[in-house]
Amino acid sequence: MIDEIGRVDRDTPQAVLSENGPWGGRGEGDGSGGGKGSGPGGGDGPRNPWTQPPRKPRAPRGASQPSLEDLVSRLRGRFGGGLPSGGGRSLWGYALAVFVLLWLGTTSMHRIDPQERGVITRFGAYAGTLKPGIGMTLPAPIDVVTRVNVDQIQNFDVPASGGQNLVLTGDQNILDLAYSVRWSIRDPELYLFELAEPEDTIREVAESAMREEMSRVTLDQAIGPMRSEIEARVATRMQALLDRYRSGVVVQGVAIRQADPPQAVNDAFKDVSAAQQDAQAAINNARRDAEQVMAGAQAQAQAFDKVYDAYKMAPEVTKKRMYYETMEAVLGKTDKVIVDTPGANTYLPLPGFPPHRAANQQQAQQGGGQ
């Protein structure tokens, strides 16, 4: 069959087709037919397509870019076939394996700081709490860890905007009150799951407890001496309410920053306060004078008791003593000298005796001689 094809006349269409060749024209033959081929047959005929290596097809103009598999094949050839067969699928497999390892490492291992606690939720339900250190959980989204700082002291001010916070006291007075509340988290799981809005709840509880305590005191007590006691009672009341709500919060303290009457009546309140202070000062002075009078009366009563005790023991002696003391008190400030003893020498040459006293003594002697 092949020999017959090789002997076909060159003028026939078959000869033309054989000469040009459907596989690239004349060239190196395989000697199976006539021609200039250099094959084993030594002829000039066309090359045998069945014994030639396949040629790489040329990309036509306007062809698309090579696919991912072509690129992988070229990389395999460039690196000496280092990549295994099916390189595209294997590369995607390596990338997927690396992604899975990173996902497991980042979502299953958790580092919890000393001031933190890690609350674990499994499909949205509470599943445990991680202590400080390195903890392991199931990967996300199966387990989700929420870090909660339990050592941080948080605070808020009432009123928050710095405006007026009018509170009614027990004596029906209005007070402009400003205070701050300090609190921290004690149980992270209760704090996250028991209250929908924990911070708003704590604020509302603080306002309720403060208004309740202010309704039990007067305006003067709220402004002055009972401020520290009110702060302690408000903190205790807040803690009791928050424990009933299972909030997981501990109240650190309450501090009253301002307790004044409203600005509209502040001047009148100052006048009333000044009048009250003046009245209190007058009352204190009267009490002081009364205490002094009472002390003097008590001293006189004690002295009289002593004299009475002496009178019971020696009545005559006590009478004379009382008489002499009384006369001395009455006549001690006069210039006259009275001698009541008969036959006594009335001349008393005392040095420095006043002249009018000497004249009085002389008149007394003349009266005595008569």
State the CB neighbour count (10 A cutoff) for residue 347. Answer: 11
Strand partners, 256: 179
- Per-residue pLDDT at 3: 46
Predicted TM-score of the model (pTM): 0.51
Return the structure tokens found at 320.
């004379």
Contact 172, 222 (CB under 8 A): no
Whose CA is closest to 249, among 190, 181, 179? Answer: 190
User: Which residues are 276's β-sheet partners?
Assistant: none
Instruction: Express each pLDDT in 73-91 by its tens digit.
Output: 776 666 555 445 555 567 8
- Look at 209 and 331; give whichever has higher pLDDT: 209
Domains of the chain: 2-44 (no CATH), 91-152 (no CATH), 156-261 (3.30.479.30), 315-369 (no CATH)
| Residues near 318 by beta carbon (within 8 Å), at least 6 away in sequence | 307, 310, 311
Tell me the C-alpha distance between 47 and 27, whole Å. 6
Instruction: Give the amino acid at 101.
Output: L
Q: Are 191 and 249 in contact (CB under 8 A)?
A: yes
Cis peptide before 225 (omega within 30 of 0): no
- At residue 74, the 3 state secondary structure works out as helix
Structure tokens at 340: 């009541």
The residue that leads in pLDDT, 141 or 263, is: 141
Over residues 329-354, the pLDDT tens digits come to: 887 777 766 666 677 666 655 555 55
Predicted local distance difference test score (pLDDT) of residue 160:
83
pLDDT, one tens digit per residue, over 279-311 is: 999 999 999 999 999 999 999 899 888 888 888
pLDDT of residue 167: 93
Residue 260 near residue 266, CB atoms below 8 Å: yes
| Torsion, CA 236, CA 241, CA 242, CA 244, rounded to 10 | 130
Residue pair 195/201 in contact by the 8 Å Cβ criterion: yes
Smallest Cα–Cα separation from 154: which of 186, 113, 193?
186
Q: Please provide residue 365's backbone torsions phi and psi, each rounded to the nearest 5 degrees.
A: -70, -40
On whether the CB atoms of residues 72 and 78 are closer than 8 A, the answer is no
Which residues, listed in sequence order, are joined to residue 157 by a DSSP beta bridge?
Answer: 180
Greater model confidence, 344 or 104:
104
Check whether 266 has a pLDDT greater than 90.
no
Provide the token pair at 306. 């002593």
CB neighbours of 51 closer than 8 A, spacing ≥ 6?
30
What's the mean pLDDT in 129-147?
90
Residue ranges with strand state E in the chain: 35-36, 44, 109-112, 116-122, 125-130, 133-136, 143-149, 154-158, 166-168, 174-185, 249-260
